[in-house]
Amino acid sequence: MSYEALSYLSIDELGRKLCSREVSPVDVVDALLTRIEQYNKNLIAYLHVDGETARKAAKAAEQEISAGGYRGPMHGIPIAYKDIFHVKGLPTTANSRLMADYIADADCTVVSRLRNSGAICMGKLNTIEFASGGMDFLGNARNPWHTERHPGGSSSGSGTALAAHLVHGAMGSDTGGSIRIPASLCGIVGLKPTYGRISRSGILPLSWSLDHAGPMARTVTDVAHLLQAIAGADHNDPSAALQGVPNYTSTLTGNIRGRRIGVPKNYFFEASDPEVVEAVRIAIAVMQGLGAEVKEIELPTSVHASAASWAIAYSEAFSLHRRRFFERSREYTPAFLHKITGAALLSSDELLTALRLREKVTMEFTDALHEVDVIATPTTAYPAHSISGQAPESGTHSLTRPISLTGLPSLAMPCGFAAGGLPISMQLTGRAWEEQTILDIGFAYENATEWSHRRAPINAETKPPDHQPEASLPSEIDANWVMDFAKLTGLTFVTEDDAGGIAQSIGPQKTQLKRALEVIDIGLEPAVRPAR
């Protein structure tokens, strides 16, 4: 096969050819390295390419398979990791000056499990700084569907590398949408699993209670193969659940007759681009045509969920970064410093409101999922925005953050294209520990459509329309308030140059949290994660 053809194969297709020895893993690695050499300088999907080690691993895999030691569907498959996953001997930069010289001395659990399955590490992929800032330090990854468009974040390089066929599978992390957003904007498949399904040990944290590690690939079957290799308990991560792990690929039947699909009446479809709404509605009709039942549901508190997710995630992130903020604040990107410092200026009442909102949103999703098997929504409200512009969704309007709050599994997958050829994505959310259900429904839809067969042009010849950022919620604070509060709380690293950016970040969140108090029952207690 040609190098180009090898790069285009899915994990499932490639695995079968490697098993039968029709294809050599050495040729596969060489094909990807050739393509990376051709495209990565512009796309900046990879921050570190480990070609020499990948070739050695490919030769070892070839010998092992030839000797009858085939380990399974991931043996000889090239994988790359978001650059917050520790890979022994490789840099972990998190696209931050603060990590510029760090070399990992051990594999994280996810990397270790994929190595044991026979997967080959190609290198480390671009990310927004510490999974929540900017990409100022090592460069912005670009969207292969239009190289002047953003690939989404924070698993930006993972989305870019997959859409550009620079790797066959990738790993990302998702705190408020960081797997699903790049999956949406890059036209690939990404899974945020149930909280606790995959170990976070050895992955740089952003938010202890909201971080999820998860697989990204070009097809649902490929995501299932990746999930199979990495799911399960881990004594190194107290949040990794002791739940049993089913066989995810054997449950991909494609028969969804009688499956119940819930479609929210409110929020998720209300403020989305008309092209996005139409594509997702058509996708739901396709699933209905395959025998699924469609039922309207209500998730009213989701409208307040973005600020709750923001408050919890970034309050935890501030605790993680607090010492370095005082010691090395000017080495962070402004986007990260301002956002995370903003969370430190929340009141205890506001943070408790966010925690109580998490419980209410989780209850609404859980109750709805007693009546339906999955909930179908758009993944992002808009297609990819300009690389130099601002996302049209404001910080208080996100279609992924409500689901992040719940810890429920959610699958993002392509379901169409907007003007100018930009991908549109559908999000399928299911019950806790039932990844196999959303994968099976996604598999049926994928097989009934042709979206997963489209290939990104990797150019910027077209001119897709730009969507203007939504108007932010009104803010009751300004730069003066930020400086006064920072002095009061001892945040001496905050300067007048920072104050405006911090106010812009936190102001709308405080407004939304204040409004949310009107819908929270006085007796509602903060969310508590279930026991393992």
Asked whether the CA dihedral 381, 384, 389, 395 is positive or negative, the reply is positive
Q: What is the pLDDT of residue 529?
A: 55
Position 132 confidence tier, pLDDT thresholds 50, 70, 90? very high
Q: Is residue 341 part of a domain?
A: no
Cα radius of gyration rounded to whole Å, the chain: 22
Query: Range of 65's domain?
Result: 3-300+363-453
Q: Is 88 among the residues known to form the active site?
A: no
Is the pLDDT assigned to residue 394 strictly greater than 60? Answer: yes
- The burial class, CB within 10 Å (0-12 / 13-18 / 19+), for 258 is exposed
- Which ranges in 67-121 belong to alpha helices (H)? 109-116
Is the pLDDT assigned to residue 438 strictly greater than 80? Answer: yes
Position 531 confidence tier, pLDDT thresholds 50, 70, 90? very low
Phi (first) and psi of residue 424, to 5 degrees: -120, 145
Q: Is residue 526 part of a domain?
A: no
CA–CA gap between residue 30 and residue 26 (Å, rounded): 6
Is the pLDDT assigned to residue 31 strictly greater than 60? Answer: yes
Position 504 confidence tier, pLDDT thresholds 50, 70, 90? very high
Q: Is residue 164 part of a domain?
A: yes
Is the pLDDT assigned to residue 446 strictly greater than 50? Answer: yes
Residue (of 308, 304, 393, 303) closest to 346 by Cα position: 308
Count: domains in the chain = 1
Is the pLDDT assigned to residue 472 strictly greater than 80? Answer: no
Residue (of 64, 109, 52, 117) closest to 86 by Cα position: 109
One-character DSSP codes across 416-476: EE-TTS-EEEEEEEE-TT-HHHHHHHHHHHHHHS-GGG-----S--S-PPPPPPPPPPP-S
CA–CA gap between residue 302 and residue 360 (Å, rounded): 9
Q: What is the pLDDT of residue 469?
A: 79
pLDDT digits (tens, 9 = 90+) for 235-258: 999 999 999 999 999 999 999 999
pLDDT digits (tens, 9 = 90+) for 262-293: 999 989 999 899 999 999 999 999 999 999 99
Lowest mean pLDDT segment, chosen from 29-33, 210-214, 337-341, 526-530? 526-530
Number of CB atoms found within 10 A of residue 208's CB: 15
Position 391 confidence tier, pLDDT thresholds 50, 70, 90? confident
Q: Is residue 493 part of a domain?
A: no
CA–CA gap between residue 406 and residue 361 (Å, rounded): 7
Q: Is residue 215 part of a domain?
A: yes
User: Which residue out of 7, 24, 82, 184 is catalytically annotated?
Assistant: 82
Which whole number is the average pLDDT over 157-163?
98
Position 419 confidence tier, pLDDT thresholds 50, 70, 90? confident
Position 470 confidence tier, pLDDT thresholds 50, 70, 90? confident
Q: Is 178 among the residues known to form the active site?
A: yes
Is the pLDDT assigned to residue 517 strictly greater than 70? Answer: yes
CA–CA gap between residue 190 and residue 55 (Å, rounded): 27
Q: Is residue 466 part of a domain?
A: no
User: Which residue out of 96, 155, 173, 178 is catalytically annotated?
Assistant: 178
Strand partners, 120: 78
Which whole number is the average pLDDT over 139-162?
97
CA–CA gap between residue 235 and residue 109 (Å, rounded): 10
Q: Is residue 467 part of a domain?
A: no
Is the pLDDT assigned to residue 144 strictly greater than 80? Answer: yes
* C-alpha to C-alpha distances, 35 to 25, 74, 176, nearest whole angstrom: 15, 21, 31
Asked whether the CA dihedral 179, 314, 467, 361 is positive or negative, the reply is positive
Which whole number is the average pLDDT over 503-520?
92
Which whole number is the average pLDDT over 371-382?
98
CA–CA gap between residue 142 and residue 114 (Å, rounded): 27
Indicate which CATH number applies to the domain containing 57.
3.90.1300.10
* C-alpha to C-alpha distances, 496 to 232, 476, 492, 493, 500, nearest whole angstrom: 47, 18, 11, 10, 8
Q: Are 369 and 363 contacting, i.e. CB atoms less than 8 angstroms apart?
A: no
Q: Is residue 472 part of a domain?
A: no
